[in-house]
Amino acid sequence: MPTMLDRVAYAAGQTARVGWFLAHYAAGRRQLKPLPRPDFPVGPFPDRQELLRDMRQLFAREWDDIAAGLFPPPPVLDPDPVAWMRRSALYFRDLPRVDERRHARINDEPNNDPAHAHLPRYYRQNFHYQSGGWLTDQSAEVYDIQVETLFTGAADVMRRRTLKPIAAFLRDRDQRQVRLLDIGTGTGRLPGFIHHAFPGLQVTGLDLSQPYLEHARRTIGASKRLKWIEGAAEALPFADASVDLVTSSFLFHELPRKVRAAVVAEMARVLKPGGRAIISDSALETDRPEWKGLFDLFPYYFHEPYFADWVTSDPDTLFTTCGLTPVATEVAFLSRVMVFERPA
């Protein structure tokens, strides 16, 4: 069970993280040139206090689960401070180029590189207007800092809300017999947290991006119980009914509707009967109607071609159509965690 000292260390660590990324957010905003006002109707916004309050509640919820013994306090993944300083410098150096793309609405640079012709067309874009799309070492290096800055230090804790349903699944099981696949794993932060919390699990992270997988291997590590493979979520290189848990974080809002459906069908195919899909992604508009303005503006400021379709979609119907039964949903700050089961 965690001690009082653990609690203090948790609070201090998370506060320092949020402070570091808030500082990046504020400094970054000053560098960006304003975009013209949107010419479409924009819904209501939370104010800063409301956002911070909601974020604090999320950390409090995580601490309650840690105190209840569901999983240990989070590790500092990738703790090399020199690497983070270097990434911070890279982030600010790259920001003007991201801003140029935002203003010129340039979003298909990866598509113009013949080296990427084998990848799906929808994938070859500058998502978030980021340099290199998902496809360069530099993009892999700055991705985490970009995402955490966007969420002012709450991206990791949102990803970690998947640990609670994983703990529930493992309650009466020997974790060494459980196989977990994380799809669209990116730089591997979710598998990193899962591996730390449940070190007996057999965890595999899958992604289409070689540079992101290489970054995961280097920074999160690789072992018999933590593997990384290249592959498409809509054509999983796994046998039918061979996986106990499939997870993903922040993948679904990056997929066109048809691909999203194909990915869910693949999840259902590879899950064993009784296995579960645990998805963390952007909250839906219906989860946060009072924050609709954020959902309206996000795809305007960042290149997010499929975001609006995701936040107005009905995941329960999509997963049910593919044979998976809804088990639980938790709205966590700007995200939602959904649990679905393949009936036994």
Ligand X SMILES: C[S@@+](CC[C@H](N)C(=O)[O-])C[C@H]1O[C@@H](n2cnc3c(N)ncnc32)[C@H](O)[C@@H]1O
Binding stretches for ligand X (CB under 6 A): 123, 134, 147, 159, 183-186, 189-190, 207-209, 212, 232-234, 249-251, 254
Looking at beta carbons only, is 7 or 138 nearer to ligand X? 138
Find the shortest distance in angstroms from Cβ 185 to ligand X.
5
Find the shortest distance in angstroms from Cβ 248 to ligand X.
6
3-state secondary structure the chain: CCCHHHHHHHHHHHHHHHHHHHHHHHHHHHHCCCCCCCCCCCCCCCCHHHHHHHHHHHHHHHHHHHHCCCCCCCCCCCCCHHHHHHHHHHHHHHHHHHHHHHHHCCCCHHHHCHHHCCCCHHHCCCHHHCCCCCCCHHHHHHHHHHHHHHCCCCHHHHHHHHHHHHHHHHCCCCHHHCEEEEECCCCCHHHHHHHHHCCCCEEEEEECCHHHHHHHHHHCCCECCEEEEECCCCCCCCCCCCEEEEEEECCHHHCCHHHHHHHHHHHHHHEEEEEEEEEEEECCCCCCHHHHHHHHHHHHHCCCCCHHHHHCCCHHHHHHHCCCEEEEEEEECCEEEEEEECCC
Of 315, 281, 305, 324, nearest in space to 183 by CA: 281
Looking at beta carbons only, is 74 or 184 nearer to ligand X? 184
Find the shortest distance in angstroms from Cβ 22 to ligand X.
19
In the block, residue with structure tokens 């999320």? 58
Of 295, 281, 299, 244, nearest in space to 44 by CA: 295
Looking at beta carbons only, is 150 or 324 nearer to ligand X? 150
Residue closest to ligand X (Cβ): 186
Find the shortest distance in angstroms from Cβ 165 to ligand X.
16
Looking at beta carbons only, is 173 or 229 nearer to ligand X? 229
Looking at beta carbons only, is 251 or 324 nearer to ligand X? 251
Find the shortest distance in angstroms from Cβ 230 to ligand X.
9
Find the shortest distance in angstroms from Cβ 228 to ligand X.
11
Looking at beta carbons only, is 18 or 194 nearer to ligand X? 194
Find the shortest distance in angstroms from Cβ 259 to ligand X.
6
Looking at beta carbons only, is 183 or 270 nearer to ligand X? 183
Looking at beta carbons only, is 6 or 113 nearer to ligand X? 113
Find the shortest distance in angstroms from Cβ 119 to ligand X.
9
